[in-house]
Structure 1
Amino acid sequence: MNNEEFTYNRENYEDLGLRDAQMLMVDILREVHKLCEKHGLKYFLDAGTLLGAVRHKGFIPWDDDVDIGMLREDYNRFLEIAKKELPNHLFLQTFETDKYYDVYPVPCKIRYNDTIFLEGDRKEDNYKMNNGVYIDVFPYDSLPKHRITYKIQRTLSYNILKSFKRIRDIPEKLSLKNRVTYSFYRLMVKMFPNKRRLKFFEFLIKWNDINSEYMAYGLDTYWSEYVYKKSDYFDLVKLEFEGIDLYAPKNYDTILTQLYGDYMTLPKKEHRVWHAKEMKKLKSKS
C-alpha cells in the first residue's frame, strides 16, 4: 500500500526521549530479524550499530539511528516480503511505497508509525512523507570484475543521487559558477525521475559479478569508498544488542577497524552528537 500524504499537527504529539526512541528502534529490529529468520534472509548490523553491539552491547549511548545491511539478492527479497508481512505499526518506506520520500542516498527505511523523527541536516523539512522513528536498511552489491567498471558505475550513480539532494537544498544566492553547476543538477533530476532512476540503477547493477570476493554499499547509495571482503562478513555471527541476539559480520574487528580505527576508545564529549532535532510520539487517546 502506498503512503498517502502525511499531515503533522504538533498539538497531537508529545515529546519522545532518546532512550524511548531507541527502544522503538529495537522493536523494529526485532520484527525485521523475525522476518529474515522466517524466510532465510541474511542481514547484518552495520556501521555505528555494529560498533554499538561490540562496544556497548547495544546502542552507542548518544546514537539515535540503526543501520543494517543485506546483500542485494536478500535485500530485494526482503522488500517484497516486508510489503506483505511487516506488522501494521511499521511502514516499509521506499521510493515506491512513499511517493513523497526524498532521502535519496538511503533507498529503504522501516518507520514506526505514529511517531516523528526530524533530522537537523535539511534546509527544509518534508512533512508530507512518513517521518517516523526508523531503521535504515542498506543494500550491498557484489563488485564488477574490473575496477574501471566500478568507477564508471559509481560516477554515474553518485552524480544522479547528488543532483537530487543538491536541488532539494539549493542555496538562495548562487555565484555564476554555482549557477552552471545547479543547471547540471536540474538536468539530472529532469532526466531521472524516480521510476527512471530506479530502472537505471537496476541496469548498472547488472554489471556486477555475483561471484566477486568483494562487496560494497549498493549503487543506490553514496558510499563508494567502503569496499569489503565478503569473507570478513560470512558466515555471520550473533552479537548481543539491547538484550537480543542479532546477526553481525564474522570478522567485525577487521570491519570496525577499517571504519573507525581505534574503535574501542570513546570519542571526545563534543563529538558525541545525534541526528534528531525533534522526536515525538502520538498522544494516547484518553
Structure 2
Amino acid sequence: MNNISKKTSSNVYKKDDYEDLSLKDAQALMVSILKDVDQLCEKHGLKYFLDAGTLLGAVRHKDFIPWDDDMDIGMLRQDYDKFLEIAKKELPEHLFLQTFKTDKYYDIYPVPCKIRYNGTILIEKAIGENDKMHNGVYIDIFPYDSLPKTKWVYKLQRTLSYEILKSLNRLRDKPEHLSFKNRITFTFYKLVTKIFSIKRREKFFKFLINWNDPNSKYMGYGVDTYWSEYVYKKEDYFDLVKLEFQGEHFYAPRNYDAILTQLYGDYMTLPKEEERVWHAKEIKKLKEV
C-alpha cells in the first residue's frame, strides 16, 4: 500500500514502509475518527448512535470490549444520506470516506460505509484480502430504515436486497474449484451482479427504501445491509442519551438495556474466551504516522 496520507484508494502495499500497530493504539485511532464524526454531526444537526459491540463496550466497560478491534455507529437513513454528502467535503484530510462510489475497489458489500484512517492498515480475517481498496483502521457507519407497513412487504423487500448482496459477496469469496452444482449457482450470482452495477444497485435500493413507512414505530438495519432479523422500537432509541467511552461522551440509544438484551441476552456477563471474536489478522501504520 502506498502512502495514503491523502484521500485516495489506490493502494500498493509496501511492507518496509509500515510498522505494527498495537490493538490499543488502533482503538485510540478509532475513537479519534468517532470524535471527528461526532463534531460533524453536531455541527450539522445530525443524529448518530453507538451500535452493536461498541454500544455494549460503552455500557459494560465505558470503553471497547477489551478484545474488540472495530467500532460501529448507526444513523437513520435521512441523517445517513446527509452525512455522506457533508463528509465528502468536510472530513479532515487524514480520514477517508469509503463507499462504493468513493472507492471503486471497495468490496465489503454488507457494510455500505466506513471511515478509514489514512496511512494505516487493518486486514480482517474473515474477508478475502483486497489490497486495491483502502484498508485503513476504520469505524463502520450503518444506515437504519423505518419498516414498511406490513410484514410481508418487509420480507419481500429484504429478500430482494439480500439476494443482491449475497451474490456480490459469494463472487468475491468464490472458491478456486467448484462442483457442477456450484457452477450453476455461481452463474446465477454472476447474472445478478451483472444486472446490478453500482448505479443500478443504488437505484434499486432507493426503490426498495420507498416501500418504508416513515411513521412506523419500528426500525432496523438498512436495506443495503444484511441484518434484517434485527428489528427495534424507535422509542427505545430516541431521544438519544450520552454514554462515556474512553473518557469521551458519545450518543447512544435511550433504552440501551432493551436493545442490548435483545442482541446479547445477559450482556453484562463476559462471554467464554472461545466466543470472543477478533476480526483483525494484521494492524499496521506508516512509520511516519
Shorter chain as denominator, the TM-score bin is: over 0.9
| Residue ranges of structure 2 left out of the alignment (5+ in a row) | 1-5
Matching of residue 136 in structure 1 with residue 152 in structure 2: no
Matching of residue 3 in structure 1 with residue 5 in structure 2: no
CA distance in 2, matches of 1:128, 1:174: 25
Matching of residue 44 in structure 1 with residue 49 in structure 2: yes
Task: State the partner residue of 1:73.
Answer: 78
What is the Cα deviation at residue 153 of structure 1? 0.7
Residues 76 and 145, structure 2, Cα contact 8 Å, conserved in 1:
yes
Task: State the partner residue of 1:282.
Answer: 286
What is the Cα deviation at residue 136 of structure 1? 0.1
CA distance in 1, matches of 2:257, 2:242: 14
Within 5 A, what are the aligned runs for 1:55-74?
55-74=60-79
List per-residue Cα deviations over 1:239-260 (Å, max 9, x = no partner). Answer: 0011111000000000000000
CA distance in 2, matches of 1:211, 1:255: 20
Task: State the partner residue of 1:240.
Answer: 244
SS of the aligned residue for 1:68 comes to strand
Matching of residue 155 in structure 1 with residue 138 in structure 2: no
SS of the aligned residue for 1:111 comes to strand
Matching of residue 184 in structure 1 with residue 188 in structure 2: yes
Residues 7 and 93, structure 2, Cα contact 8 Å, conserved in 1:
no
Q: Percent identity?
A: 73
Task: State the partner residue of 2:3.
Answer: none
CA distance in 1, matches of 2:85, 2:257: 32
Task: State the partner residue of 1:227.
Answer: 231
Structure 1 length as normaliser, TM-score? 0.97
List per-residue Cα deviations over 1:195-240 (Å, max 9, x = no partner). Answer: 1111110111011111110001000000000000000000000100
Within 5 A, what are the aligned runs for 1:245-264?
245-264=249-268
CA distance in 1, matches of 2:265, 2:16: 45
Residue type at the aligned position of 1:153: Q
Matching of residue 85 in structure 1 with residue 90 in structure 2: yes
Residues 121 and 284, structure 2, Cα contact 8 Å, conserved in 1:
yes
CA distance in 2, matches of 1:147, 1:190: 30
Residues 2 and 96, structure 1, Cα contact 8 Å, conserved in 2:
no
List per-residue Cα deviations over 1:261-286 (Å, max 9, x = no partner). Answer: 0000001112223100000000128x
| Residue ranges of structure 1 left out of the alignment (5+ in a row) | none
SS of the aligned residue for 2:79 comes to helix
After TM superposition, which residue ranges in structure 1, 4 or more long, deviate above 6 angstroms? Answer: none
Residues 58 and 244, structure 2, Cα contact 8 Å, conserved in 1:
yes
CA distance in 2, matches of 1:217, 1:4: 26
Within 5 A, what are the aligned runs for 1:16-27?
16-27=21-32
List per-residue Cα deviations over 1:41-62 (Å, max 9, x = no partner). Answer: 0000000000000000010000
Task: State the partner residue of 1:54.
Answer: 59
Residues 7 and 96, structure 2, Cα contact 8 Å, conserved in 1:
no
What is the Cα deviation at residue 3 of structure 1? 3.4
SS of the aligned residue for 1:273 comes to coil
The number of residues matched between the two structures is: 284
Residues 67 and 136, structure 1, Cα contact 8 Å, conserved in 2:
yes
List per-residue Cα deviations over 1:94-137 (Å, max 9, x = no partner). Answer: 00111111110000000000000000113x41101110000000
Structure 2 length as normaliser, TM-score? 0.96
What is the Cα deviation at residue 4 of structure 1? 4.3
CA distance in 1, matches of 2:52, 2:9: 32
Task: State the partner residue of 2:120.
Answer: 115
Q: CA RMSD in A?
A: 1.2
What is the Cα deviation at residue 175 of structure 1? 2.0
What is the Cα deviation at residue 178 of structure 1? 1.5
